[in-house]
Structure 1
């Protein structure tokens, strides 16, 4: 659960305790409200009233998890959307002669407005590196916190670059090109799925309305003739 909270943006020491406290309060509040509501329906049997109260308690138990899952999904999507721009900035900064730590900090500063979630994560990486944490370890922490395969792949390439002594700029350039090709393939796949996804709205939403507009007047005239 702590990993989910971290990916949702809650990395404080007390956030996990606060989460479970909120779940407990939600269960109590929902249960009390449901119990009070059953008193307005005296025709309800005791078993039905108990089921309603238990359902309310379960709702209070599940709802915080659903909210955290939604926040996690939205934040990861925002980070994923900002990663291509960050990768291009990485390539530009490294090819300009900046070191990896300075590059990460510069990218975090540049993306603070457009992609604040990714900028926050990159800022945390530079903070860890300034405290003496190895850069690969700090980047692995970034991949673990975000859970993105794109960042995991970048960290793996940087690790290989450090172990085999290859240039970081060349590594980033190759990964950027591969990532751009991957995005293009994903865009083509999504475009190919559009026709299939449009079948349902066309069949059940647009075609009935078109049928009514196109054929409706003719049907009315037929009825008038037979009258």
Structure 2
């Protein structure tokens, strides 16, 4: 039998498609800007907000796979970071080294980084253990041991890398210190005050020490007096020479002693300390250079000297 249109079974799908088309056209019509009347809070919001809302195109509103994975793993990483903190401790030491490295003293973030490094080490150890297990077979003890060792090595490696970053940054600051001290002495000798000399040096120089002096000036502008701001520089670094430099500047500012002479003396002391450090390093390298001479060159020389005699004796006998 035929339906209303003469073909059986086409009335149902045709009606469904027509209904969907009608609903879609109605939604498009209702979604036109003409039919979207803003509410009262939407009209008042541009005049009450503190800052203009950035564009969605510039902000990147679309969430990609990496960001979605990060959002999903953030609670797990946070729990593991708290576990590492309870197991290792030493928050004061970590905070101190973060300040020395020029980073924000965020211990939780550093523990999360340790968790990530530990995860990478775990994967590397598990991969190596799996290769060994597939090659040799037998027990799973090497696989488990390498996995645990990889996790521990990753966590410890992140801690050691933080210490390396702090030491490297302090070495750069120590190399910049004599030049910065001389510039400060020249600025003070030309008639600048302590704050003016610091501003001039921060404006003309680049580097880690100039950045730290800029932070001191920012603290001074925020309301702290200059000695307190300079003391923050000594607290954020672990260099005795910088601590003496800060003490000399604080005493010169508070008591009115000649600041230029203090700065020149501090720069000369740092240069002498650097020269002594170079001499000590040269002495250590000289001892290390004796190792190949004693254990490689000298035995070969003795062998070349003795071998002709042994050959002659063997030929005579």
User: Normalization by structure 1: what TM-score?
Assistant: 0.79
Query: Which of 73, 95, 115 is residue 2 of structure 1 equivalent to?
Result: 95
The whole-number CA distance in structure 2 between the counterparts of 1:193 and 1:36 is: 40
Q: Which residue of 2 aligns with 1:162?
A: 253
2:111 aligned to which of 8, 14, 20: 20
Show the counterpart of 1:132: 223
Structure 1 position 169, deviation (Å): 2.2
User: Which shows bigger deviation, 120-129 or 93-102?
Assistant: 120-129
Q: 1:1-227 counterparts in 2 under 5 A? A: 1-11=94-104, 15-40=106-131, 41-42=133-134, 43-112=137-206, 116-184=207-275, 186=277, 196-208=287-299, 211=301, 216=304, 219-220=307-308, 223=311, 226-227=314-315
After TM superposition, give the deviation of residue 59 of structure 1 in Å.
1.0
Whole-angstrom distance in 2 between the partners of 1:74 and 1:178: 21
Inter-partner Cα distance in structure 2 for 1:195 and 1:28: 41
**How many residues are aligned here?**
219
Kept after mapping to 2: 8 A contact 1:111/1:118: no
Gaps of at least 5 residues in structure 1 are none
State the superposition RMSD in angstroms: 2.9
Cα 1:204–1:144 shift into 2, 3 Å: farther
Q: Distance in 2 between matches of 1:220 and 1:184?
A: 49
CA distance in 1, matches of 2:297, 2:197: 51
Gaps of at least 5 residues in structure 2 are 1-93
Bigger Rg over Cα: 2
How far is 1:191 from its partner?
5.7
**CA separation in 1, counterparts of 2:187 and 2:112?**
45
What CA deviation, in whole Å up to 9, does each residue of 1:41-80 have, x standing for no partner?
1524233332222111101211111211111111111111
TM-score, structure 2 as length reference: 0.59
Contact map agreement 1:7 1:76 (CA 8 A) in 2: yes
Alpha-carbon distance between aligned partners in 2 of 1:28 and 1:200, rounded to the nearest angstrom: 40
Separation in 2, partners of 1:64, 1:184: 32
Q: Give the superposition deviation at 1:148.
A: 0.9
Kept after mapping to 2: 8 A contact 1:38/1:44: no
